[in-house]
Structure 1
Amino acid sequence: MKSTTIIDVAKKAQVSVATVSRVVNGNYPVKEATKKKVLEAIKDLEYIPNIQARELNTQHSSIIGIIVPSLFNTFFAEVVSGIESFATSSGYSLLLTYTKDDPICEKECMNELLMRNVSGIINISPNTERVDSSFFDQMASRIPLVFINSYIKRPAISYVYNDERIGTKIALEHLVSLGHQNICFVRGERSDSYEFKEDVYIEFMKKMGCYNPENIINVSAGNSIDTVELTAKKIVEFLPNRKDVTAFFCCNDLMGVGAVNACRRLNLKIPEDISIMGYDNVSLSHFIEPKLTTMDQNMMTLGWTAASLLMEKIASDNKTSRQVVLQNTLVLRDTTGPCKTNK
């Protein structure tokens, strides 16, 4: 069976091929009545536009590049889902690349996406602390670029991020409101997010007069397939010698799940014996038992907003940049409770 062409649509709608092209590409104004006729003809004939032809006409690829540091933390998958929901409704598909949280690989991914002529790039949790800012400046001058959860600001790049400083303070205040003072901080290595959270933790605990540097645990890989087990092992080694610790603040939910597993191995009841706070609110946090109290990182909203910002930059020929700040919210579940010494 012969496939429907743009010529068939033009004949049925009784307009020129150029008019059909303008309706499909949205690159020139068309009278509303004419546009309606063309869209009805497209629907009746089940016409599917040729993507390559459309890209030639609009001089834009219909693909946007996505860079993620990890495939093992569902935080990133949920952010990508938000990007995809907005991008597809705007006529774009995604090309996903994965950096393994390696700065050299991240630069290679960005260059690869540029060579593939994508219309723009969204970089989730970029390695701004380990990649020279001049590289990002150079990329931003060549292609529309949006960063998610980056804390280093460049004028040519659009940003959407959560205010994790305030989120961390809210989480710590929740634990303190339950009577906890000896709160252990669990983090991974090499991340702006962990550094900012730790800065807030240290300042907060010093104000309370409860800061102890030995209460900071680094589990190394914070977004890997091994994060849960690495965290569990570290805490199993740590807790027997630190009976005074009554709560854990974990920098993401993978670490939070690891803390839950560790306490189970040590036959500690949660939250009766010890409280655990996660961070992100990924789907895993409410699948485990007990369900993890955590901070919601707005993953879908992060992705949706990033895609919207990228469309703005594409539409303006990369001449506009904007920042959007989201707020974390406390999600109360089953892993935090009154401090045992206060019961």
Structure 2
Amino acid sequence: MKVTIEDVAKESGFSITTVSRVINNNYPVKDETRKRVEEVIDKLNFHPNILARGLINQRTDTVGIIVPSNTNLFFPIVVKGIDSVLRKKGYTIYLCDSDNNEEEEIRYAKSLLSRVVDGIIVIDPQTSNMKNGFYEGISKEVPLVCINGYNEGIDCNFVLNNEETGAIEAMEYLISLGHRKIAFVRGEKSYSYDLKERVYNEVLDKHHYGEYKKVINVGYGNKYNTVDTTMETVEDVLNNDNHPTAFFACNDIMALGVLNACKRAELNVPGDISVVGFDNIIISNLTEPKITTVDQNMYELGENAAQMLLKHIDKHTGKSERIVLNTKLIIRDSCKKIT
């Protein structure tokens, strides 16, 4: 049978009110009284109702995190950075995977509100839910921080990577190696992919290499099967005589798919084909060859978002803010200069 606060009161010899004050730490209690109640709580293995405490204290010490996927290692590292900060402050997290679905993202956000979380962090929120004002509305009910995602004219707190600069670096690096036929590999429904595609087109036009543009959409870019989907799609491209000499992929799991496609086509990386990824997840440093990629400061993104959220939980400020972190091109072994 579940132990109740009444059981603790009876065993300790104090009133329910006194036990409640010890649990919630919201009124002064004598040290000897607190010690006795805490001993009984341990003895009976009593677990207070967090939601009930939240209604009393207006704090539940919980934070909701919504991610579009748990299978791309980018997101778990960001979550680890968030948790490293929140755990030290006594917070517990609810982790929700929306599977890159707008409706699921909304459902999870509403569910977190019903659980009286103290704040919400959304990683790479769906563009439609940013543009339609959904998250601006949520931010008026509970402290909210968005990590990356569509942010133009949006009145919310943001921690962002400078993905545009990172994409420019990647494209300029490939061009500096002599590549003129560069293909762009992306997924569907992502502001991040849209931004990188825009950069891809702008950089090619700037250098007057716009005659060869190839955008390859592999569908949802963060699923467990994205590597295989990318491999199969790129393999078809490589069967063409006028195939690219280089690929710029929107993330590292797509870049891995490109590597596998080249292997199937018996093309050497970097001897025949150069490949650049994005994110710098652990996989990019474990492949052969190791993948040149753009580091997105995943752990630091999470830390900054958690610190920003805590500030807004404590101060209840209504003013939105944003932090932009720099990216860095990590040059490894998957690219080669051509003549």
Q: TM-score, normalised by structure 2?
A: 0.84
Residue 326 (str. 1) matches residue 325 (str. 2)? yes
- State the aligned residue count: 322
Residue 101 (str. 1) matches residue 100 (str. 2)? yes
235-244 or 185-194, which moves further after superposition? 235-244
SS of structure 2 residue aligned to 1:290: coil
Q: Is the 8 A contact 1:312 1:320 kept in 2?
A: no
Deviation at 1:72, TM superposition (A): 1.3
Residue 272 (str. 1) matches residue 283 (str. 2)? no
Identity in percent? 40
Structure 1 segment 211-230 matched on structure 2, within 5 A: 211-212=210-211, 214-230=213-229
Deviation at 1:311, TM superposition (A): 0.5
Structure 1 segment 273-292 matched on structure 2, within 5 A: 273-292=272-291
- What is residue 124 of structure 1 aligned with on the other side? 123
Amino acid at match of 1:157: C
- Structure 1 runs of 4+ aligned residues shifted over 3 Å read 16-21, 46-58, 129-132, 153-156
Structure 1 segment 1-343 matched on structure 2, within 5 A: 52=50, 55=54, 58-129=57-128, 132-153=131-152, 156-212=155-211, 214-243=213-242, 245-339=244-338, 342=339
Deviation at 1:222, TM superposition (A): 0.8
Against the structure 1 CA distance between its residues 242 and 117, is the aligned structure 2 distance closer, same or farther, given a 3 Å change threshold? farther
Amino acid at match of 2:191: D
SS of structure 2 residue aligned to 1:194: helix
211-220 or 244-253, which moves further after superposition? 211-220
Against the structure 1 CA distance between its residues 128 and 108, is the aligned structure 2 distance closer, same or farther, given a 3 Å change threshold? same
Once the two structures are superposed, residues 251-307 of structure 1 have per-residue CA deviations (whole angstroms, 9 ceiling, x without a partner) of: 000100000000010111111111000000011111211111100011000111111
- What is residue 14 of structure 2 aligned with on the other side? none
Paired with 1:57 and 1:19, the residues of 2 have a C-alpha distance of: 11
Paired with 1:130 and 1:211, the residues of 2 have a C-alpha distance of: 33
- What is residue 12 of structure 2 aligned with on the other side? none
Amino acid at match of 1:319: G
Paired with 1:191 and 1:303, the residues of 2 have a C-alpha distance of: 19
Deviation at 1:69, TM superposition (A): 0.5
Amino acid at match of 1:182: K
Paired with 1:273 and 1:134, the residues of 2 have a C-alpha distance of: 47
257-266 or 178-187, which moves further after superposition? 178-187
50-59 or 128-137, which moves further after superposition? 50-59
Q: Is the 8 A contact 2:161 2:326 kept in 1?
A: yes
Amino acid at match of 2:161: N
- What is residue 5 of structure 2 aligned with on the other side? none
Paired with 1:248 and 1:294, the residues of 2 have a C-alpha distance of: 11
Q: Is the 8 A contact 2:169 2:329 kept in 1?
A: yes
SS of structure 2 residue aligned to 1:66: strand
Q: Is the 8 A contact 2:119 2:144 kept in 1?
A: yes
Structure 1 unmatched ranges of 5 or more = 6-15, 31-37
Deviation at 1:212, TM superposition (A): 4.1
Paired with 1:258 and 1:167, the residues of 2 have a C-alpha distance of: 21
Once the two structures are superposed, residues 88-116 of structure 1 have per-residue CA deviations (whole angstroms, 9 ceiling, x without a partner) of: 01111110111111101111111000001
Against the structure 1 CA distance between its residues 98 and 17, is the aligned structure 2 distance closer, same or farther, given a 3 Å change threshold? closer
Structure 2 unmatched ranges of 5 or more = 1-7, 9-17, 29-33
Q: TM-score, normalised by structure 1?
A: 0.83
SS of structure 2 residue aligned to 1:216: strand
Paired with 2:263 and 2:161, the residues of 1 have a C-alpha distance of: 32
